[in-house]
Amino acid sequence: MEHKNFKNIDKVTYGRGSFSQLGQTIEPIRQTHNRYFVYIVDQYFKGKDLANRLQNKPEDLVYFIDVDPYEPTTEQVDSLRDEIISKKGVPSGVIGIGGGSIMDIAKALSLMLTNEGSSTLYQGLNLVKKPGIYHLGVPTISGTGAEVSMTAVLTGPEKKLGLKCDWTVFNQVILDPELIASVPRDWWFYTGMDTYIHCIESENGIRNNAFSLAYGEQSLKLCREVYLGDKAGQTSENDDKLMVASLMGGLSLTYSEVGVCHALSYGLSKIHGTRHCYANCVIFQHLGDIYPQGHREFMRMIDKHGISLPQHLSKDWDDATLTAMATVSINLPFMWHHAFGDDWQKKVNLDYIKGLFKRL
């Protein structure tokens, strides 16, 4: 098995109120390139306090982007890139402020501002030809690990797949736990469970190792405090922890791999448009035989926070739909390989995956 050579984030600022250092953080980049910056901000913040604290300059372009209910698409990134280039040429850098989808758009945009053609050409591993421009991520929701991952997940006409290469990774992230305080309770749960599931899947598979386990164990410890501990709940102290848990969960899976839940989740999202974190929760509730310990703990968290997940979704799915979902999932062989080992193909085929989807 080849050993991964992971590109980490260049710089990280962490702490309450650290968002106020955004302006000074990007100043040297402005001076080097002597060009404007592009801000990609979640639409949610339009008209809110955060929108007045962007520290942007008059020449900068600020886009408020609605990522609900869909995840970012190749078309969305392409047209945004074309618009930016035609308006003002290549910027000094891109700043993404929002959840996982905004992180993905900022990362993809950074690459697509220097690489020609449609982003569909670059969906996959190391297909990007030139380094992107400077990009900085400010997560306002914690869990997906998008702030640290070397992939920018986009849904294209044919596949839901990341632009994955060293250049995808952020040059800088600012982790300010104050920013995640306004996350609605349901999403606080779903996105945190994405982190939790990253760690469970990372640990339970053949790519697990001491390096990924060290991050995964610490992330799990923080998740347990946030969702199961004596002081569980959406508090500022827990927001401080969740933000670090998300980062470390992301690092854990980067040095290992995700597994069955994520492979299924991509199939569910691609065919039905289900948001990533929510899709994971909808699926993980049915994976007790595959991840028994993690599943038990997950169900306790569901219980403790009174979260209700949909049941009997599959009764509306005909065979063609199930086949389409399973086809997306089986095309993530590295996840199945990690989860079930070298002879995974003896167990996993379209029918097996369709069987898993029928549990939903």
Q: Which residues bind Fe ion (CB under 5 A)?
A: 194
Q: Which is nearer to Fe ion, 96 or 143 (CB)?
A: 143
Phi, psi torsion values for 306, nearest 5 degrees: 60, 40
Q: Which is nearer to Fe ion, 104 or 194 (CB)?
A: 194
Distance CA 119, CA 74 (A): 6
Q: Is 216 helix (H, G, I), strand (E, B) or coil?
A: helix
Residue 8 CB, nearest approach to Fe ion (Å) = 18
Instruction: Name the closest residue to Fe ion (Cβ).
Output: 194
Q: State both tokens at 135.
A: 């990009």
Residue 301 CB, nearest approach to Fe ion (Å) = 16
Query: How many CB atoms sit inside 10 A of residue 66's CB?
Result: 11
Query: Which residues does 97 contact at the CB level (< 8 Å), separation at least 6?
Result: 39, 40, 41, 42, 45, 50, 54, 138, 140
Q: Which is nearer to Fe ion, 194 or 239 (CB)?
A: 194
10-to-13, 114, 134, 258 alpha-carbon distances in Å: 11, 20, 11, 24
Residue 53 CB, nearest approach to Fe ion (Å) = 29
Residue 227 CB, nearest approach to Fe ion (Å) = 16
Q: Which is nearer to Fe ion, 146 or 360 (CB)?
A: 146
Distance CA 174, CA 140 (A): 10
Residue 358 CB, nearest approach to Fe ion (Å) = 23
Distance CA 102, CA 82 (A): 18
Q: Which is nearer to Fe ion, 78 or 194 (CB)?
A: 194
